[in-house]
Amino acid sequence: MAEIRTADTRERILDAGERLFMAHGYEGTSMRLITSEAAVNLAAVNYHFGSKESLIQEVFRRRLDWLNEERMRVLVEMEDAAAGKPLKPSQIVDGFFGTLLRMADDEERGGVTFLRLLGRTLTEPSEFIRTFLAHEYATVMDRYKEAFFKALPDVPKAEIVWRFHFMLGATSYAIAGTDALASGD
């Protein structure tokens, strides 16, 4: 015996939080909702994470650490293989967005749920979350921007940044999948 039993309270809170923050946003998700969904006690969130703010940051960090490393790994690998020659822009795009989309198939890494949460969070109203996200992203974003600059030496940098923005917006909106305009088909 010696039953594992707990099935990890911490992890269950993170899973429930991820799903509920995705569905209702940060402000719209109460800790009562999270803990009842996770079938743990209300006080458990504060015990394990300290606060609701710290909880959502941990929800993101759990997935982003891997995503950041993977994106970086893929980029460096491509650059090494190219041996000094410039990468094709499509390669860089695939390194950034392809890596993200492959998370959708990986339930261990959050799957579609986390992808949607991430997509919606780019326009999340709560400022501390956007700030936190920007900070988490900063290093990798800068590396990819540099890669684009090198791959497209004739395109003004500001133009590249805009294109990156547009791709990111299109992707995140498609992923968020809110279907605000579904109308009737």
Partner DNA sequence: GTCTATATCATGATAGAC
Partner DNA sequence: GTCTATCATGATATAGAC
Binding footprint of DNA on the chain (CB under 7 A): 6, 9, 29-33, 40-48, 50-53
What size, in residues, is the chain? 185
Q: Are 180 and 120 in contact (CB under 8 A)?
A: no
Among a copy of itself, DNA, none, residue 133 binds (CB under 5-8 Å by kind): a copy of itself
Nearer to a copy of itself, 95 or 119 (CB): 119
4 near a copy of itself (CB under 8 A): no
Asked whether position 149 contacts a copy of itself by CB under 8 A, the answer is: no
Q: Pick the piece of the chain touching a copy of itself (CB under 8 A) from 23-31, 35-43, 80-88, 105-113.
A: 23-31
Site for a copy of itself (CB under 8 A): which residue of 27, 77, 146, 159?
A: 27
Question: 2 or 183, CB closer to a copy of itself?
Answer: 183
Instruction: Calculate the dihedral angle through the C-alpha atoms of 11, 12, 18, 24, rounding to the nearest 10 degrees.
Output: -150
Q: Out of 5, 51, 142, 155, name the contact with a copy of itself by CB under 8 A.
A: 142
**Which spans in the chain are helix H?**
9-24, 31-37, 44-49, 52-82, 89-93, 99-103, 111-121, 127-151, 157-176
Question: Whole-angstrom Cα distance, residue 163 to residue 156?
Answer: 11
Q: Is 165 in the site for a copy of itself (CB under 8 A)?
A: yes
The least distance separating DNA from the CB of residue 110, rounded to whole angstroms, comes to 22
Which residue is associated with the tokens 């390669």?
A: 91
Query: 94: which DSSP letter?
Result: I
